Structure 1
Amino acid sequence: MVDKVIKASKIIALLEEGCSQCFVAQRLNVSRSTVQRTWQRYQETGSVKRRPGSGRKTCTEPRDDRFLVSQALRNRKSSYVDLKNTLEEVRNVQISLWTVRRRLLAANIHSHRPARGPKLLRGHRVARLSFARNCVSWTHEDWDRVLFSDEARISLHGEDRRRRVLRRRGERFAEACFEEITPYGGGSVMFWAGINSMDRTELVFIENGTLTGHRYITEVLIPYAQPALTALGETSIFMDDNARAHRSGGVDAYMLEVGIRRLDWPARSPDLNPIEHV
């Protein structure tokens, strides 16, 4: 309400300075009809405040609305039911869930699924901060030398349970409305790939079982990662995460032998790896 009064005051001020209604609408990013109604109301009443409406009065006062907003911001995981019950308990005001939703929307508070990320302990946060400080001065040329890599495991018959069916009452187990599932997703396949700012490796299919340190050397590093690093030049840097296969003693010895420089990577930091977004 306060924002509307301020905007209406700006409209009147610009019009009294001699600006056209079209110019005022463009300047304040409002419709021309809004400017016209505001000016007409000001000429009739001498005020920029809205005339008292004849409709149903709101069931909450401004203090109640501010209470709802403050409770929502203090506990971001509160549901509409929680906020409704809290308002009734503290301020003895009974409202519907739709009213709670409208009050929050008026305050530009929307309900969304929370962003997800790895659980970080203090040691993880310290390592990520150290990594950021070490790399904050890197230029584009420095990052061009890095080959980012990662594996992805894909379930063959995974189901995220988001798909829906249209059915009538009593058709829950009808064949057209039934979906068969495979234990443990029917197995999975693993792929490996590497990217840099200018190129990418081939997509490597890891067949028959898990990725071990020996397989990592013979199936990934020798045929794919090492040629890609050679193409980047002598100053190339290889980035792989802290998976057990990547950090085995045999892998460390091989990289030291062939001279592959490895980027120190903080644990639990998939969000820092650009290949995750590819």
Structure 2
Amino acid sequence: MDTTSAEAAQVVAFLQQGLSQRAVAAQLNLSQFAISRVYRRFLETGAFNRRPRTSRQRCTSERDDRFIVSTSLRNRHLTGVDVQQELRRVRGVTVSEWTVRRRLKEDNLTPKRPATGPKLTAGHRQARLQFAREHLNWSIDQWRSVLFTDECRMCLHGSDRRGRVYRRPGERFAQCCFAETVAYGGGSCMMWAGISLEGKTELVFVPGGRGGGLTAERYITDILTDHVVPYGGFIGESFVLMHDNARCHTSRNTQQFLVDVGIRTMDWPALSPDMNPIEHLWDELKRRVRARNPAPLTVDELKAALVQEWDGIRQVTVKKLIRSMKNRMQAVIRARGGNTKY
């Protein structure tokens, strides 16, 4: 255990007063070896400070360190081995991959799991940026008339990959540390719903299996007619439907039906799930279902659990998500149309 200069001065003072090393060690809560070492150092140097140490010479120069950092910053997806090989190829310096990782850590660059998002082209970014600028100054009353809708699929044995396991070195493949998977998630169900500041719609399940899926015909009869049109009457004349660019949403039959019933739609940019607040509600719904004990064992039990948890989500949670639209638009503008933290 290293001692400070003040502790070393106390050790020397007590020993010069005639106390034994054992008594000084007990009084200062130090080991007897530390007391002996401090006093021997004082007799040799006449000082209380530790002798200066010679540090190990670095195997990379300052230019090498700057090259390592700049190479990693130019391409954040390079591994330590990739940067090591680039350093050897360009500068002719051979070091271990652990040296490269230490140099990066000295500059506060540590490996993390990357955030994910849809692949955006220049056209996608431009459309997202234009939409964000047009709706940046929308008031909460304007967002009040919008019904945000979306479809989502949940597997019976799915995983959000957030789970962690505590294990010791060498226990990676121990049976108690495995996260077991089931082929095709053990079955799944597809659902549709909509949210607004005034409330949320019922949870609608889309038929699956052979001949299933959300077609334009099913979208019109099972969702638009039964849920969106009545909800539009609840909101009033300012009602606006927000749905994405799925084929069943953009088909000619769907567009013509919306014109016939007088429902306006929002010109939503493609590949923009981060701007739709219902995405966070899907995440909340899935967390609640996965936390149930006992967990659903069949698809029918899964559907029942989804309906129960959906009905249990309070409207204050929905309002909080929709009130974040201004922040979402600001995030898209800051990202110049790119993916955001939402």
TM-score relative to the length of structure 2 = 0.57
Correspondence for 2:241: 238
2:263 matched to 1:223?
Answer: no
- How far, CA to CA, are the matches of 1:255 and 1:150 in structure 2? 17
Residues 84-133 of structure 1: CA deviation (Å, up to 9, x unaligned): 12223333333222221121111111212332222223332332233223
- Taking a change above 3 Å as real, the CA distance of residues 160 and 268 of structure 1, as seen in their structure-2 partners, is closer
Q: Could you tell me which amino acid in structure 1 is paired with residue 254 of structure 2? A: V
Alignment of 1:140-179 (within 5 A): 140-158=140-158
Q: Could you say which residue in structure 1 is the equivalent of 2:263?
A: 260
Give identity over the alignment, percent.
50
Residue 196 of structure 1 aligns with which residue? 196
**The residue matched to 2:69 in structure 1 has which SS?**
helix
Distance 1:241 1:158 in 2: 24
**Counterpart for residue 276 of structure 1:** 279
Q: What does residue 63 of structure 1 align with?
A: 63
Q: CA RMSD in A?
A: 3.3
In structure 2, what is the equivalent of residue 104 of structure 1? 104
User: Which structure 1 residue ranges, 4+ long, deviate > 6 Å from structure 2?
Assistant: 159-164
> Unaligned stretches of 5+ in structure 2?
1-50, 282-342
Cα deviation, residue 154, structure 1: 2.4
> In structure 2, what is the Cα distance between the partners aligned to 1:193 and 1:179?
31
Compared CA separation, residues 75 and 151, structure 1 to 2 (3 A)? same
1:251 paired to 2:231: no
TM superposition shift of 1:178:
11
Residues matched between the structures, number: 224
Contact 2:157 / 2:181 at 8 angstroms: preserved in 1? no
| Rg (Cα) greater in structure | 2
The one-character-per-residue Cα deviations of 1:176-227 (angstroms, maximum 9, x if unpaired) are 9896743x44443100011123422222112242111121122212222223
Query: Aligned-pair distance for 1:263?
Result: 0.5
Cα offset, 1:163, TM superposition: 8.6
Q: Return the alpha-carbon distance in structure 2 between the equivalents of residues 178 and 264 of structure 1.
A: 42
- Aligned-pair CA distance for 1:134: 2.3
Distance (Å, rounded) in 1 between the aligned partners of 2:179 and 2:129? 50
1:76 Cα deviation from its structure 2 partner: 1.6
| CA–CA distance in structure 2, aligned partners of residues 68 and 55 of structure 1 | 22
C-alpha change, 1:252 and 1:90, in structure 2 (3 Å) is closer
Between 1 and 2, higher relative CO (CA 8 Å, sep ≥ 6) is seen in 2
Is the counterpart of residue 117 in structure 1 residue 117 in structure 2? yes
Relative distance call for 1:61 and 1:133 in structure 2 (3 A) is same
Gaps of 5+ in 1: 1-50
Change in Cα spacing, 1:59 to 1:177, as seen in structure 2 (3 Å) is closer
2:138 aligns with: 138
Residue type of the partner of 2:70?
S
Question: Hey, what's the Cα distance between the residues in 2 that align with 1:139 and 1:194?
Answer: 20
Instruction: Letter of the 2:151 partner, please give it.
Output: E
CA distance in 2, matches of 1:181, 1:214: 33
Q: 1:4-51: per-residue Cα shift (whole Å, max 9, x none)?
A: xxxxxxxxxxxxxxxxxxxxxxxxxxxxxxxxxxxxxxxxxxxxxxx9
- The one-character-per-residue Cα deviations of 1:34-81 (angstroms, maximum 9, x if unpaired) are xxxxxxxxxxxxxxxxx9742322222222211110111112221100
For 1:180 and 1:277, the matched residues in 2 are separated by: 25
Q: Distance in 2 between matches of 1:192 and 1:160?
A: 20
Q: Please tell me the residue identity of whatever aligns with 1:202.
A: E
Assess if the C-alpha contact under 8 Å between 2:242 and 2:265 holds in 1: yes
Under a length normalisation based on structure 1, what TM-score does the superposition of the two structures give?
A: 0.69
